[in-house]
Chain A
Amino acid sequence: MQKGKKNKNTDDSAYIEFVVEKYSKMLFRICFVLLCNEADAEDAVQETFLKYFTKAPAFSSEEHRKAWLIRVATNICKNALRFRMRHATVDINEVKNIGVNDKDVGIMEAIMELPPKYKIVMDLYYIEGYRIKEISDITGATPAAIRKRLQYARNSLKMEFERGDSFEV
């Protein structure tokens, strides 16, 4: 990132709308799987965009911008989780309010049961289509650790699905 350089388009509300429309869904999904709570996820997405538009960093490419947003969003979620660990409890029933079909609520709950570091890796790999090296760059973990987390996540997901009887072939 080229710090200090300001993006000239940042003041343009059309530009803000463009960026929010483009990345809000992806960021919300990442924040939601990490926080297991719709309201907290929305707050995290809002904070991420606020950081983006107030800092207004310049990026060399669209991928660079996307990776920055993911990194910032995951850091905000980690901070929120750390705060929650000290101050409050997690209500997993929130997943029912997210618009997921009734038959998928069990699957979503199984996904939510995974530890955060597995969920973020699963999301980046299977949903966003990042490669292991790229995930390594975004999360700061080594490629070997990412591979291992993916393996654990797949196995854990299988166990959660089978345990919750939420998956029917």
Chain B
Amino acid sequence: MALFDIHALWDGKLFDVQSLLPGKPFEFKGLIKGNQSKIRGGVHPEPRKEATADRPIDTGFPLPPMLYLALWQHVGKPADPVVKVGDKVLKGQLLAVSQGLVSAPIHAPTSGIVADIMDYPSAHPSALPTPTLLLEPDGEDRWMELPEKIDPFSLSPEEISLRVGAAGVVGLGGAAFPSAVKLNLGRRTKIQTLLINGGECEPYLTCDDRLMRERARVIVDGILIMLHGLGAQKAIVGIEDNKLEAYTTMRMAADELSEGKVEIALVPSFYPMGWDKQLIGYLTGKEVPADGRATDVGVLMHNVGTAYAVQQAIRHGKPLISRIVTVSGGAVGSARNIEAPIGTPLASLLAHCDYRPEDTARYVMGGPMMGESLPHPNVPLVKGTCGILALTQEEVSASNAKSCIRCSRCVTACPVGLQPLEMVARIRAGQLEQSLKFGLKDCISCGSCSYVCPSEIPLVHYFKYANGELLTRDQANHKAEQTKKLAEEKLARLERQKQEAAAAAAARKAAAKKPKITEQAA
């Protein structure tokens, strides 16, 4: 290891003092063997995971008096209710079916009575009401009849996808994309490697970390089932090197269960290591083309939580009705991870963890880098919620935007290779089309640029605004074009009708004349 490395000046690590210190876990460092050169950009926000990382998952969360099951909590079409108000349902029973190719069903997280199907505030920055099914628990928590345990590897790969889809499993890393659709895509495109994202690079969040520490064998089993469903032979789990306990536990479980099919790899901890393409590049050295998908380079990525949910669905026939969610933030007295039924009001989770509403400056769903701000916590837990944070005034950075000094920190931080300062300059000048030329559409909204900006310019906010504005313009253009097209078609139709009428009249005239001619001829 070079003591002096000119490139290290870039990181400000002039001398690698740490490597000289005794007691550093060399063996773990040696395990990091990914494609360092594929890593671009990134920032090192304060992890703030210590409040929850060492506390076991709380499985004793009491059932709230009412569960609010949003019918649209996944990517794709909303689910369609198949129960009526007043119906008595059992735990795990199907409440709403998926509609269309990309959608997911909703199941009852506990036994109880369907109280209502109404519009209820959604887990969205607007908290606008969306169709929601209200389930009043009866306190018995009685399961529906579960199918007999089966050997997942006796099922056909197609059957695995079907069952994953029927269990309502969606990506639990936050994207909430229906997992069965992804499995089908991976199988059709014959992917070689299944990547499992155990990065969890967002500050505060530890739900994946805890899950890996406590239920590693289940996760590895789930990965093996997914491999079977994909017809692939190899899976790599990427875990950030700040989660050594999770790494060790997963490693042991993989060694024991997977016969070498599941590899556990340490990846460097920084933000956004958990961006799927960053992880793909680091673990496989491959780069996904701008207009392609991960499957185009032969890989598919799922989250560790999703692997867990798949195992539960296939081996035990249990649909996705609960998830592990991190409840943290400075205003939370006793922060921890909770295994909570889907539909639980986030306010109940916060109350369970002794939060202080008076100290809360902002409620954030997800992590502080990419999460969404909620106006109030009276919205339900959805399948894609990794965390609910109650942040104090000190934790929420006030934004006092000043002039851009072109320091280029945003360029260095951008994992995509964009020049955020140039894009913002164009957007502020109203030249939205120009910002497209700088790669606006390639922005992944990770927030690294806003994070590092010493002038506190909310860069990502500008990009979201510009994207929304361009979308609105596109829609307006599209509408105008459609209107024009319809108007032109109408004109053409009228013209055609006129011509047809004229032609018909001429024909009639001719027909009326003809006999005369024939008569004359005769």
Q: Do A and B come from one complex?
A: no
**Which residues of A come within 8 Å of B, CB atoms?**
none
**Which residues of B come within 8 Å of A, CB atoms?**
none
